[in-house]
Amino acid sequence: MNLKKVLKIILPLILGGFLVWYSISKVSIDTLLQYFKNANYWWISLGLFFGILSHLSRAYRWKFLLEPMGYKPDFGNSIMAVLVAYLVNYAVPRAGEVSRAAVMTNYEDIPFEKGFGTIVAERIADLLMMLIIITFTLFVQFDFIYELLTKNFDPTKIGIGLLLLFISGFIFTRYVKKAQSGIGLKIKNFISGLIEGATSIFKMKNKWAFIFHTVFIWLMYIAMFWATIPAVENLNVPFGAVLIGFIAGGFSIAATNGGIGLYPIAVAGAFALFGIPEEPASAFGWIMWTAQTAMIIVFGGLAFLMLPLYNKNKKTS
């Protein structure tokens, strides 16, 4: 294993460890343990139920991308491949997609490159959903965000900043369009791939079923976040804060190994914009992160162990 690969594994873990320390320095371990002790685990269980539904839907959605290529994988293998992928992502960021495709190659004889290609297409659909949620949040919370910006920043400077952003965006777009090599060409190819992947969804035979499951998956993610909030005593979170906290938490998961250390900080920071006290907000972040991490470790670990047994029994039968 070369140095670059080692650093990709070690650096996120070091960053996660630092962020855990930073978060605990804000709210003591004893305080967090008290929140965990007093948490309403019925609400946490409901949140986990929504999370499980999202994973099942993701495994089922996969078949709509594989069937046009002539593959009809066993639903049990699809579920376990998805769970193993989530587990691997906690150890090595973005390696889960590779392991997911590898599982289907091993147990369903689906060529790795084809399986991996469908996973990339899924990620494009998920990226579009995240952008839709962000846009919806900006629309719903426009007055709040506008007031927040004008209260903390000079309106004239905001106007100048938006103008500069528009000009920079225009120049950047022109540069990318004309690029024939280098990073500009890479960006152009990446954007073209996103557009091609997004439009290909609407050319699928079962496009509406695929779109339904994509929307359902993300609604379950939000429902999992929302359902866990009442588990923390005296934590009153308005709808706008739920959306912004969910988005902040989502970005933290992408930035570090499963959001370790960063997730509670990101969620508490988002809630702070709405005047929600740091202590219960941070405690919620830790409870939410612990619940979903425990779910992935338990179910992902079981899937990893069950895959060879399940397929052995299937072959025997």
- The domain tally of the chain equals 1
What separation in angstroms does the CA of 45 have from each of 39, 40, 163, 233, 297? 11, 9, 47, 16, 16
What separation in angstroms does the CA of 196 have from each of 2, 99, 222? 34, 25, 27
Per-residue pLDDT for 185 more than 80?
no
Query: For residue range 43-92, what is the model confidence (pLDDT) as tens digits?
Result: 999 999 999 999 999 999 998 888 887 888 889 999 999 999 998 888 77
Within-domain flag for 4: no
**Half-sphere exposure of residue 36: CA atoms within 13 angstroms, side-chain side:** 14
Q: Distance (Å, rounded) from C-alpha 130 to C-alpha 99?
A: 24
Place of tokens 């997609």: 97
- Mean pLDDT for 8-30 is 65
Within-domain flag for 173: no
Residue 20's pLDDT band, with cuts at 50, 70 and 90, is low
Within-domain flag for 8: no
Query: For residue range 275-288, what is the model confidence (pLDDT) as tens digits?
Result: 888 889 999 999 99
Within-domain flag for 175: no
Enter the DSSP assignment of 154.
Answer: -
Report helix, strand and coil shares of the chain as percent, to nearest 5: 85, 0, 15
The pLDDT, as a whole number, for residue 9 is 56
Within-domain flag for 281: yes
Residue 152's pLDDT band, with cuts at 50, 70 and 90, is low
Weakest-pLDDT range from 145-149, 230-234, 249-253, 258-262: 145-149
The pLDDT, as a whole number, for residue 25 is 62
Query: For residue range 211-249, what is the model confidence (pLDDT) as tens digits?
Result: 999 999 999 999 999 999 999 988 888 888 899 999 988
**Where in the sequence is the domain holding 223, given as residue range(s)?**
28-151+204-311
Single pTM value for the model: 0.81
Per-residue pLDDT for 122 more than 60?
yes
Within-domain flag for 192: no
Within-domain flag for 20: no
Residue 151's pLDDT band, with cuts at 50, 70 and 90, is low
> Alpha carbon 190 to chain centroid distance?
20
Per-residue pLDDT for 150 more than 60?
yes
The pLDDT, as a whole number, for residue 228 is 94
Within-domain flag for 188: no
% pLDDT > 90, the chain: 28
